């Protein structure tokens, strides 16, 4: 369940800044099994409490997106980013 202030990272636009609230792999339509997608996202640094910023989106269809998580920049498909629930806010 998500609150009004929590959105899927895949729905965010360039310039979005916020903090990861949770992973909800059942919301992603990647074709990967949920546990595999969750493991991959965690390995990339998409963990609860991490700061995120959407830096860039692809020219065609706005896919993939470039996201800064902590101090790393990662390319991610929007359908994978749908599994990352974020709350908008100013980064520290």
Closest CA to 11 of 84, 68, 89: 84
Residue range 15-48, pLDDT digits in tens: 999 999 999 988 666 677 878 989 999 999 999 9
The verdict on domain 6-88 having CATH code 3.90.1150.10 is: no
How many of the other CB atoms lie within 10 Å of CB of 35? 9
Other C-beta atoms within 10 Å of 58: how many? Answer: 13
- Give the domain ranges of the chain: 6-88
Please state the pTM of the whole predicted model: 0.85
Q: Which residue has the higher pLDDT, 9 or 5?
A: 9
- Please say whether the beta carbons of 70 and 20 come within 8 A: no
């Amino acid at each position: 369940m998500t609150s009004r202030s929590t959105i899927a990272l895949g729905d965010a636009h360039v310039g979005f800044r916020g903090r990861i609230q949770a992973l909800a792999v059942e919301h992603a339509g990647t074709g990967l099994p949920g546990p595999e997608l969750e493991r991959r996202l965690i390995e990339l640094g998409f963990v609860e409490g991490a700061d995120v910023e959407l830096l860039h989106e692809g020219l065609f269809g706005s896919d993939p997106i470039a996201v800064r998580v902590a101090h790393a920049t990662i390319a991610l498909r929007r359908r994978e980013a749908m599994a990352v629930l974020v709350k908008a806010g100013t980064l520290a």
